[in-house]
């Protein structure tokens, strides 16, 4: 069974490109997509706290929430299956909107109970961080995990990840996608003050996600040491949004550099790094580390 309390093997891949050489910077990629077939990237560390809770509470399983393309739900379902636990997931939108998507079919094959919730109710749940009252009975037997597994309780584990990364590779700038804020908050807490954390807002939250990160740090009582730099112009229309420009970049990056990415998280993150470098955004001599948070599965691996 997968032991989330350990550190998975970390592979750092150089990303060599003329645009980086022209700007006098070095870029590496932490291949979090190689951690596990399903529990990839930051999901490994964000699920730690809830795995502990489930064992301590002797839960029947997990109750969580997400969209149809949620890597978090796929990772959680995989861990639960290994641990012999059940899953009940609240999915945004009507069933007819998402039942054809490959990740949903994977969850269904795993035996997960999928429950549609309206967009209005979804916003209410994610805003409060708690399940609606109609699921109150389930919460007695199931461990509740909020959107993306981001909560004050996850910060210590993602900060532990930051320190582990820092012990393995020297870098000045860390670049990560941000959707629910937990990983960003942990990185800010775990890295030394000499580092800059660049968060790529893949939601197009118009600053709301930056506030979420600040609130998570405060709730966790963690000291934010690294500098936060927020980038809100690379969402391509919102969560899971895309364009021909992004699709072409994803295909080119895989063909030329053997870096598989997807359109929800990693594709947008790496596009941002390439675009910022082309605009001479980074200081000369900067050592950039991009975190690949996963999402490379059978249905998008051909990219």
Beta-carbon contacts of 155 under 8 Å, excluding residues fewer than 6 positions away, are 182, 185, 186, 189, 216, 217, 220, 222
Residues 157-197 have pLDDT tens digits of 999 999 999 999 999 999 999 999 999 999 999 999 999 99
pLDDT at 140: 76
CATH number for the domain whose boundaries are 12-37+152-292:
3.40.50.1100
Residues 7-24 have pLDDT tens digits of 999 999 999 999 999 999
- Check for a shared fold between 12-37+152-292 and 43-149: yes
Quote the CA–CA distance of 87 and 100 in Å, as a whole number.
20
% residues pLDDT > 70 (the chain): 98
Residues 102-150 have pLDDT tens digits of 999 999 999 999 999 999 999 999 888 888 878 766 677 999 999 999 9
> How many other β-carbons are positioned within 10 Å of the β-carbon of residue 233?
10
Compute the half-sphere exposure of residue 78: CA atoms within 13 Å on the CB side of its CA.
Answer: 21
**pTM: predicted TM-score of the whole model, two decimal places:** 0.94
pLDDT at 133: 79
Pick the CATH number of 43-149 from 3.40.50.12160, 3.40.50.1100, 3.30.465.10, 3.30.1490.20: 3.40.50.1100
Could you tell me the residue ranges of all domains in the chain?
Answer: 12-37+152-292, 43-149
Tokens linked to 145: 């995990």
C-alpha to C-alpha distances, 299 to 152, 179, 271, nearest whole angstrom: 33, 21, 21
Report the DSSP beta bridge partners of residue 115.
Answer: 90
Strand intervals (E) in the chain? 12-14, 26-31, 61-66, 86-92, 113-117, 142-145, 173-178, 196-201, 227-231, 287-292
Compute the half-sphere exposure of residue 38: CA atoms within 13 Å on the CB side of its CA.
Answer: 18
């Amino acid at each position: 069974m997968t032991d989330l309390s350990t550190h998975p093997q970390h592979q750092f891949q150089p990303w060599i490109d003329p645009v980086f050489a022209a700007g006098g910077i070095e870029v590496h990629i932490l291949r979090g997509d190689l951690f596990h077939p399903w529990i990839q990237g930051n999901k490994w560390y964000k699920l730690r706290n809830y795995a502990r809770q489930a064992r301590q509470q002797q839960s029947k399983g997990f109750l969580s929430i997400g969209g149809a393309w949620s890597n978090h739900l796929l990772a959680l379902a995989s861990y639960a299956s290994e641990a012999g636990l059940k899953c009940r997931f609240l999915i945004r939108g009507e069933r007819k909107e998402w039942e054809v998507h490959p990740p949903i079919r994977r969850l269904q094959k795993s035996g997960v109970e999928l429950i549609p919730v309206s967009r209005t109710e979804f916003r209410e749940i994610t805003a409060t961080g708690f399940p609606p009252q109609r699921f109150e009975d389930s919460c007695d037997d199931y461990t509740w995990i909020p959107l993306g597994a981001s909560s004050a309780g996850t910060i210590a584990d993602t900060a532990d990840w930051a320190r582990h990364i820092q012990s393995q590779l020297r870098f000045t700038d860390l670049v990560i996608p941000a959707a629910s804020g937990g990983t960003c908050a942990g990185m800010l807490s775990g890295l030394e003050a000499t580092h800059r954390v660049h968060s790529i807002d893949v939601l197009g939250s118009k600053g709301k996600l930056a506030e979420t990160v600040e609130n998570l740090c405060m709730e966790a009582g963690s000291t934010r040491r690294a500098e936060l730099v927020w980038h809100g112009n690379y969402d391509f229309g919102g969560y899971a949004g895309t364009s021909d420009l992004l699709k072409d970049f994803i295909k080119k990056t895989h063909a030329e550099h053997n870096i598989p990415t997807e359109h929800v998280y990693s594709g947008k993150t790496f596009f941002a790094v390439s675009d910022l470098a082309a605009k001479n955004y980074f200081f000369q001599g900067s050592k950039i580390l991009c975190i690949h948070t996963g999402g490379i599965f059978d249905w998008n691996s051909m990219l």
